[in-house]
């Protein structure tokens, strides 16, 4: 029976080292030795919960169950937010298993393991091979952050002719800039101040707008799509007039609060608010392939995979000082 080290949240928010023991590998189970894990904003939401944290994992296959078909010991794999689904419902059969009513996702299922750990056991069906162009540390933040922004652009068919706004330059935003610009879109970055302008332009933005203190946004051509990746809800009265007719807004940041949006501008302009989560597996694979093909890589800050290292990484993220994705690395 595989037994390994995991790192959990706790009632007082401190990170606790613990041990998880799983049954002997069954079906298409794969035992993975974790080599890197990204730190996502969603981990922060579970910091006070007694569960293993982390859902941007990469690692090496150590052992395979009896029904594993294509993965071999030593291969590099990653996993993200979803660990399993029923395989039979309409959503599963149409390649939208992220919306399966019986899906197993981070925070709801398999709370005894995660990517803040020495090892994990997941189904082969929900693991992704990492392209040779990406290191484990580079691939980790793509498993949730990359998949989230790619899914919004790809599942909802944002064309290469679109003018795409990215609000917020952080873990998600700095990846969204790269994906959207490599897809050929006209990318406008909206950020509070000018402090991240130079980096945003290097990542592929065509235009950068500092929004702080502005009561009106003069964008010239309006936005066909807007990805909200900032940690706080935006000033809708500022944003809605900048949206093109029949445009789409993706609120991608997880929040426990209600989304409060002015009513009439949506109706009169045909702007829609589109919910979107991580990518289903076929798009997740495509995302990794796209990242490899176009040299899309996260900018990372490394921390040791330990109680102290995880706490330090989470505090850095909380203080808004992460540039731009924290990655935990086993020592």
Asked if 152 touches Zn ion (CB under 5 A), the answer is: no
Asked if 205 touches Zn ion (CB under 5 A), the answer is: no
- Closer residue to Zn ion in complex, CB, 202/282: 282
Q: What are the residues whose beta carbons fall under 8 Å from the beta carbon of 71, sequence distance 6 or more?
A: 30, 61, 64, 77, 124, 127, 129
Structural contact between residues 43 and 33, judged by C-beta atoms closer than 8 angstroms = no
Options 82-90, 175-183, 191-199, 227-235: segment touching Zn ion (CB under 5 A):
82-90
Options 42-50, 62-70, 118-126, 263-271: segment touching Zn ion (CB under 5 A):
42-50
Query: H helices of 28-144, where?
Result: 41-45, 90-93, 136-139
Q: Which of 15, 39, 61, 100 binds Zn ion (CB under 5 A)?
A: 100
Q: Which of 52, 92, 209, 277 binds Zn ion (CB under 5 A)?
A: 92
- What is the phi/psi pair of residue 308, to 5°? -65, -45
Q: Compute the least distance from the CB of residue 74 to Zn ion, in Å.
A: 27
Options 87-95, 214-222, 258-266, 316-324: segment touching Zn ion (CB under 5 A):
87-95
Asked if 58 touches Zn ion (CB under 5 A), the answer is: no
Q: Which of 20, 37, 42, 181 binds Zn ion (CB under 5 A)?
A: 42
Asked if 51 touches Zn ion (CB under 5 A), the answer is: no
Per-residue x/- marks for Zn ion, 125-144, CB under 5 A?
-------------------x
Asked if 85 touches Zn ion (CB under 5 A), the answer is: yes
Structural contact between residues 16 and 47, judged by C-beta atoms closer than 8 angstroms = no
User: b/e string for 26-54 if b means 16 or more Cβ within 10 A?
Assistant: eebbbbbebbbbbbbbbbbebbeeebbbb
Interface with Zn ion: number of residues (CB under 5 A): 8
Asked if 96 touches Zn ion (CB under 5 A), the answer is: no
Which of 93, 80, 87, 75 is closest to 122 using CA atoms?
80
Q: Look up residue 315 and give its two tokens.
A: 């505090």
Q: Which of 25, 31, 32, 40 binds Zn ion (CB under 5 A)?
A: 40
Distance, CA of 158 to CA of 225 (rounded, Å): 7
Applying CB under 5 A, which residues contact Zn ion? 40, 42, 85-86, 89, 92, 100, 144
């Amino acid at each position: 029976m595989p037994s390994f080290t995991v790192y959990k949240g706790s009632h007082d928010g401190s990170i606790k080292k613990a041990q998880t023991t799983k049954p002997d590998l069954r079906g298409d189970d794969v035992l993975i030795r974790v080599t890197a894990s990204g730190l996502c904003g969603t981990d922060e939401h579970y910091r006070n919960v007694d569960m293993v944290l982390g859902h941007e994992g990469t690692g090496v296959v150590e052992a395979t169950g009896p029904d594993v078909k294509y993965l071999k010991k030593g291969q590099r794999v990653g996993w993200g937010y979803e660990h399993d689904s029923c395989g039979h419902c309409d959503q599963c059969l149409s390649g939208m298993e992220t919306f399966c009513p019986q899906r197993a996702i981070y925070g709801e299922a398999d709370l005894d393991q995660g990517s803040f750990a020495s090892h994990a056991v997941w189904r082969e069906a929900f693991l992704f091979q990492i392209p040779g162009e990406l290191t484990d540390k580079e691939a980790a933040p793509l498993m949730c952050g990359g998949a989230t922004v790619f899914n919004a652009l790809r599942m909802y068919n944002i064309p290469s002719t679109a003018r795409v706004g990215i609000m917020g330059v952080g873990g998600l935003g700095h990846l969204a800039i790269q994906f959207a610009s490599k897809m050929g879109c006209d990318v406008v970055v909206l950020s509070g101040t000018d402090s991240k302008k130079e980096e945003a332009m290097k990542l592929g933005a065509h235009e950068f707008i500092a929004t702080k203190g502005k009561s009106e946004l003069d964008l010239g051509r309006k936005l066909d799509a807007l990805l909200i990746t900032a940690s706080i809800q935006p000033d809708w009265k500022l944003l809605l007039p900048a949206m093109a007719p029949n445009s789409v807004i993706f609120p991608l940041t997880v929040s426990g609060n209600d989304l409060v949006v002015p009513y009439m501008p949506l109706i009169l302009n045909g702007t829609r608010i589109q919910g979107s989560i991580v990518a289903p597996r076929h798009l997740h694979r495509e995302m990794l392939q796209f990242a490899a093909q176009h040299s899309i890589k996260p900018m990372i800050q490394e921390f040791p995979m330990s109680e102290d290292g995880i706490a330090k990484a989470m505090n850095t993220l909380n203080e808004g000082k992460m540039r731009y994705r924290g990655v935990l690395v086993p020592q």
